[in-house]
Amino acid sequence: MLPIPTRFALVSGAAEGREPLTAFDAALLAAGIGDVNLLKVSSILPPGCREVERLEFPPGALVPIAYGAIRSTEAGARLAAAVAVGLGGPGRPGVIVEHTLRGSREEAERVVRAMVLEAFANRLRGEPAAVRVASAEHVVERTGCAFAGVALWFD
């Protein structure tokens, strides 16, 4: 059984690359998580998981993360990625959502905030104690990527 994460950090970045994969990799570097292996997870923040500004990972670590990433090779396209965390009250889980779109970071942030409220209403029968949001926006020059995530880690 895997341990339950105890800390989380919101991360985001945007970048250009020669290819879609290298644009994604450069966005991960810009977000500060470029030297790890991402394990994509879904939507639940464990009870008591605390927010930190930055997480330190050993190179090559397997890092649980909920994320959204959008890539494009269309010059001039505006890309946005956003994540939101709805924090539960004491002893209650939280919710993580992500969204990507062709448009502005403000639009992506509006969507994830609304998604957190809906998820709390559906799953947890209430409202979040707080909502945290991170986003990235990028206008493509050649090949670009916008990335936002909620990285989870352990004490």
Annotated catalytic residue, options 37, 118, 127, 141: 37
Tell me the three-class secondary structure of 56-77, residue by residue.
CCCCCCEEEEEEEEEEECCCCC
Annotated catalytic residue, options 12, 72, 98, 135: 98
Cα gap 16→61, rounded to integer Å? 25
Annotated catalytic residue, options 12, 16, 19, 42: 42
Please, which residues bridge with residue 68 across strands?
148
Give the single-character DSSP code of 36: S
Annotated catalytic residue, options 43, 51, 104, 107: 43
Annotated active-site residue 42? The verdict is yes
Catalytic residues: 37, 42-43, 98
